[in-house]
Amino acid sequence: MPRSKIRTVFDTSILVSALKSRSPSRSPAWFCLTCLREKVLENYVSSEVIEEMKFTLAFIAMEVASKTNRKGVLALADELIRIIQQNSKKIKPKVDFSKDQSIIRIIKDESDIKFLNVVYSAKAKFLLTQNTGHFGNFVVSGGKTGKAKIRQHYFNVMTAREFQSYLSSAYPKTAEKCKKKRKKA
């Protein structure tokens, strides 16, 4: 077990992956959400992040839902938002990189700056995203995932699968706890 909770920021794409998952018991996105519910992770959000999550999940839910399962998919989208809101620390970022030309030049999608604001302000160690291309330019090792840097803050950009693998390797007992709880949920 880590000495303290692992500081994370979830990108909306993690929730979209969970929403679209056909098998929550095998989904890396659901693994991350279970770790969050089990208080293994200390996730951070801002008002802007929550608003994006709500809008995107509602839109995706309507897009993927058929007429027969629309209520179920919308309920799942609401549940994902509830998990994030109830298990995350809401902060007002101390920085606004939307005015920083050095950040704007290298980010793929300017609307994702809100996540970098939270990562930097919370001193999060992990930015979990399925859209690694959006944040890959901050990775110092040359890939789309791995050790990244904003100003003097280092963090890791990882997919849900990479984070699950990292946790299983670095903290096997903690990862096993999340896996067991996920199967019960």
Q: End-to-end CA distance of the chain: give it in Å, rounded.
A: 21
Tokens of 179: 């896996």
Amino acid at 13: S
Taking only the tens place, the pLDDT of each residue in 145-180 is 889 999 999 999 999 999 999 999 999 999 998 988
Q: What is the mean pLDDT of the chain?
A: 92
Structural domain boundaries in the chain: 6-184
Q: Buried (b) or exposed (e) across 103-136, using 16+ Cβ within 10 A?
A: beeebeeeebbbbbbbbbbbebebbbbbbbebbb
- Name which of 158, 120, 119 is nearest 136 in CA terms: 158
Distances (CA, A) of 125 to 25, 44, 54, 70, 134: 26, 11, 24, 36, 18
Question: Do residues 116 and 103 lie in contact, with contact meaning Cβ atoms separated by under 8 Å?
Answer: yes
Taking only the tens place, the pLDDT of each residue in 58-111 is 999 988 887 668 788 999 999 999 999 999 999 999 999 999 999 988 888 899
What pLDDT score does 68 carry?
Answer: 64
What pLDDT score does 130 carry?
Answer: 95
pLDDT above 70 coverage of the chain, percent: 95
Which DSSP letter does residue 99 get? G
Taking only the tens place, the pLDDT of each residue in 24-59 is 889 999 999 999 999 999 999 999 999 999 999 999
CATH superfamily of 6-184: 5'-nuclease (3.40.50.1010)
- Range of lowest pLDDT (17-26, 27-36, 112-121, 134-143): 134-143
- In angstroms, rounded to a whole number, what is the distance separating the alpha carbons of residues 148 and 100? 17
User: What pTM was estimated for this model as a whole?
Assistant: 0.93
